[in-house]
Amino acid sequence: MIEIRFSRLQPMAVGVNSFPQPEFMQIAPGEAKEGRFESARPVGQGTKTIKPGKWRVRILVAYGYEIESVKNALAQSLTRGEEHPINPIVRWQKISYSAPVSMIFEK
């Protein structure tokens, strides 16, 4: 199983030199959003090498019911510089996993 995470599961103890602006998307109950995932680097780079063959892939998505509080906490975290900016998001988020899909990776 390959798991693609769009957020961290645990806070980070180290500081950071740069942090991309996080994007939050509001989705109403019963509404669906579609998009395209494009990785900045090949899937599996920096981790175990993905061997060619059939794999199951699932995606981890962070969500929450109220966005303004996390945006405020994130802005304060960036201003103070006392912790990694991902930590307010990690504390706020709930996690959901997609249903796995089968993929074939070729060399």
Residue boundaries of the structural domains of the chain:
1-9+49-107
For the chain, the three-class secondary structure string (H helix, E strand, C coil) is: CEEEECCCCCCCCCCCCCCCCCCCCCCCCCCCCCCCCCCCCCCCCCCCCCCCEEEEEEEEEEECCCCHHHHHHHHHHHHHCCCCCHHHHHHHCEEEECCCEEEEECC
- Segment 25-58, tens digit of pLDDT: 888 889 988 877 776 666 656 556 778 899 999 9
Q: Which pTM does this prediction carry?
A: 0.71
